[in-house]
Amino acid sequence: MNIFRLTGDLSHLLAIIILLVKIWKTRSCAGISGKSQLLFALVYTTRYLDLVSTYISAYNTFMKLIFICASYATVYLIYMKFKATYDHNHDTFRVEFLILPSFVLSLLINHDFAVLEILWTFSIYLESVAILPQLFLVSKTGEAESITSHYLFALGSYRGLYLLNWIYRYYAESHYDLIAIVAGVVQTVLYCDFFYLYVTKVLKGKKLQLPA
| Binding footprint of other proteins on the chain (CB under 8 A) | 5, 9, 12, 47, 50, 54, 56, 60, 63-64, 67, 111, 120, 162, 165, 174-180
- Taking the complex as a whole, how short is the minimal distance between the CB of residue 32 and other proteins, in angstroms? 22
- Taking the complex as a whole, how short is the minimal distance between the CB of residue 109 and other proteins, in angstroms? 12
Smaller CB separation from other proteins, 64 or 81? 64
- Taking the complex as a whole, how short is the minimal distance between the CB of residue 161 and other proteins, in angstroms? 12
Chain CA centroid to CA 62, Å: 18
- Taking the complex as a whole, how short is the minimal distance between the CB of residue 157 and other proteins, in angstroms? 14
Smaller CB separation from other proteins, 153 or 162? 162
- Alpha-carbon gap, residue 110 to 100, rounded angstroms: 16
Smaller CB separation from other proteins, 89 or 174? 174
Smaller CB separation from other proteins, 148 or 165? 165
- Taking the complex as a whole, how short is the minimal distance between the CB of residue 134 and other proteins, in angstroms? 20
Smaller CB separation from other proteins, 179 or 210? 179
